[in-house]
Amino acid sequence: MAPQMQTQSSRPDATEYPPFYARYVAGVPETDVIAALRDSARELLAVLTAIPDARGGFRYAPDKWTIRDVIGHMIDAERIFGYRALRLARGDATPLPGFEENDYARHAEADARPLADLVDELRIVREGTVRLFHSFPAEAWTRRGVVNGREVSVRALAYIVAGHARHHLGVLRERYLTAG
């Protein structure tokens, strides 16, 4: 008999993630995080596809990422959070490392890519993320492991993915799409 797949999850409590991620979890008020991931993808992609490619290199300050860099960061972070969730969901107890987002952004060279290509990649990655979380059996959602020296649950990682994307959509709207 196939395991019952989880399509809705209760919210994680504060013991399931490091305090740094509280803002991302709080940014997802929904209890059905998979639906939140799907719905936020539609909103995110609608905003990003409306940005002309010529605007992709815009920075709101000299030392800040470009719009392309932000999208590249969102792609990288979603892949990393998803990989972490996969490892924990499968019962892998190996502690996982953190990642330095600025190093990733520097080496990704997102500014050399067309904006539409980055947006399409983000769409594909999000679809994979949704399918990944949808595939987890109910008991996997509460599994925990150590990431970057701190304990986190699979359920919290789903909320972190959704909240991280919403956070960066807010940053794009406030600092990139209203200026310049």
Backbone angles phi, psi at 56, to 5 degrees: -60, -25
Report the pLDDT averaged over residues 119-147: 98
Q: For residue 110, is pLDDT > 80?
A: yes
C-alpha gyration radius of the chain = 16
Structure tokens at 58: 């815009």
Domains of the chain by start residue, with CATH: 30-176 (1.20.120.450)
Closest CA to 93 of 101, 84, 102: 84
The pLDDT tens digits of the residues spanning 21-44 come to 999 999 999 999 999 999 999 999
In DSSP terms, 153 is beta-bridged to: 144
CA distances to 24, 50, 173 from 45, in Å: 19, 8, 13
- When pLDDT is averaged across residues 5-21 and rounded to a whole number, the result is 82
Ordered alpha helix ranges (H), the chain: 22-26, 33-49, 67-89, 101-108, 115-135, 154-171
**Residue 7 pLDDT more than 80?**
no
- β partners of residue 67: none
Residue with tokens 């000299």: 62
